Amino acid sequence: MAGQTVEQAAATLTAPARVRPRRRRSSTWVGWTFILPNFLGFATLTLVPVIASLALSFLDWDSYSSPRWVGLANFERMIHNETFWTALRNTAYYAVGHVPLTLVAALGFAVLLNRKLRAVRFFRTALFFPYITSLVAVAVVWNMLLSPDLGPVNQFLRAIGIDNPPGWTTSTAWAMPAVIMASVWRDLGYYMILYLAGLQTIPAELYEAAQVDGASGWQRFWHITVPSLRPTTFFVLIMLTISSFKVFDLVQVMTEGGPGRATLVLSQVIFREGITQGRFGYSSAISMVLFVIVLTVTLIQFRLQRRSER
C-alpha cells in the first residue's frame, strides 16, 4: 500500500530506532484528517445523493408531499415509455459517434503536434482553446455555422455543387451528427493534451532502432506509438465513454433535444422529469439505469484491457 510506505518512510525519518505502535496509530489518524475535508465534500455532495437517488427510484415523490413506496412501478413506467427508449437510443448514437471520432482526432493531432514544427505551441493552444471556451458560446457559434440557409457550411456546400445541403440542427436525420461534430471539436483538445503527455514518455531509442531496421512511418506508428500509448488510450477511452453517456449541456443549448426528439438524451429526460415535472422518483429510476449502463460499459472496458495486457 502506498500509504503504508509513506508512513514507514516518515517513521524512519523521525524515529529510526523503533516504531512505537501508539505513534503509528496517531499518524494514521493524521493521515485520515488530511483526506477528511475532501472526503466530506465528496460524501455530502456525491455519495449521499447517489444513495438517496437509489432509494428514491422506488418511491413516488414530488419533493413536497411525503414519499410513497411504489416498488418497481417507476421502472415499469420507464420500460413502457417511448420517450425513454428514444432517449436511450439517442444517447447510444451519440456515444458511438463521439467516442471513436474524438479518440482518433485527438491521437492524430497529438502525433502531428509532437514534432518540431514551427509555431507548434500556437497550434496546441488553438486546439485546446475550445475546451476552455464557454459551452454556450460554442453551441451558439456552431448553430450559426450550421444555419440551414445562411450558414457558411451550407454556403460552402452549395458552392461546391451540393444543391440540397443538410438542414443540420433543424433536420431529424442531421441534428445528431451536427451535435457530435461540435462536441468532437470541443473535446479533442483536452484528450490531445493527454496523448501528447503519453507521447513524451515513449523512448526515442525505440524509433531510432526501428528506423535502422527500415520500418516505414506507418509501421513505426502502428508498432511503437499505438502499443506504447495503450495506458493513455485506456484512460481516454474510459473518460470519453463516461462523459458521452452523461452528455447534457451541449445538446441542451444546441438543440434542446429537438427537432422533435431527434437529439433527446437520457440526462435531459432525467432533468425534465425531475426538475421540471417534479417526478423525482421516476427521474431517479432513469438515472439509476444510466448509472448501470455506464458502470457496465466501463467494467467491460477494464476487462478487455486486462485481457490484452496478458
What type of residue sits at position 92? A
Q: Which is nearer to another protein, 27 or 298 (CB)?
A: 27
Task: Quote the least distance from Cβ 63 to another protein, whole Å.
Answer: 4
| Nearest distance in Å: CB 214, another protein | 54
Chain-centre distance for alpha carbon 107 = 16
Residue 64 Cβ vs another protein, minimum distance, rounded to whole Å: 4
d(Cα 100, Cα 8) in Å, to the nearest integer?
Answer: 44
Please report how close the Cβ of residue 85 comes to another protein at its closest, in angstroms: 12
63 C-beta neighbours (distance < 10 Å), count: 11
The letter for the amino acid at 207 is Y
Burial bucket for residue 93 (CB in 10 Å: 0-12, 13-18, 19+): middle
> Nearest distance from residue 84's CB to another protein, in Å?
11
CA pair distance 2, 5, nearest whole angstrom? 5
The string over 231-259, giving b where at least 16 C-beta atoms fall within 10 Å of a residue's C-beta and e elsewhere, is: ebbbebbbbbbebbbbbeebbbbbbebee
- For another protein, the closer of residues 82 and 309 by Cβ is 82
Task: Identify which of residues 141 and 293 has a Cβ nearer to another protein in the complex.
Answer: 141
Cβ 126 to another protein, closest distance in Å?
26
Show the cell assigned to 94. 451519440
CB of 149 to another protein, least distance (A): 6
Strands 59-60, 68-69: parallel, antiparallel or unpaired by DSSP?
Answer: antiparallel
**To 10 degrees, what angle do helices 120-132 and 175-200 make?**
130
Q: Which is nearer to another protein, 58 or 168 (CB)?
A: 168
Nearer to another protein, 168 or 185 (CB): 168
C-beta closer to another protein: residue 166 or 189: 166
Question: Measured from the CB atom, is 42 or 122 closer to another protein?
Answer: 42
Where does this chain bind another protein (CB under 8 A)?
26, 29-30, 33-34, 36-37, 40-41, 44, 62-65, 81-83, 140, 143-144, 146-150, 167-172, 257-261, 272, 275-278
Q: Look-up: residue for cell 531509442?
A: 205
CA distances (Å), 243 to each of 46, 98, 198, 213, 236, in order?
Answer: 17, 10, 21, 41, 10
Give 96 or 140: the residue with its C-beta nearer to another protein. Answer: 140
What are the cell numbers at 294? 455506464
Instruction: Give the shortest CB-148-to-another protein separation in angstroms.
Output: 5
Helices (H) and strands (E) in the chain, counts: 16, 2
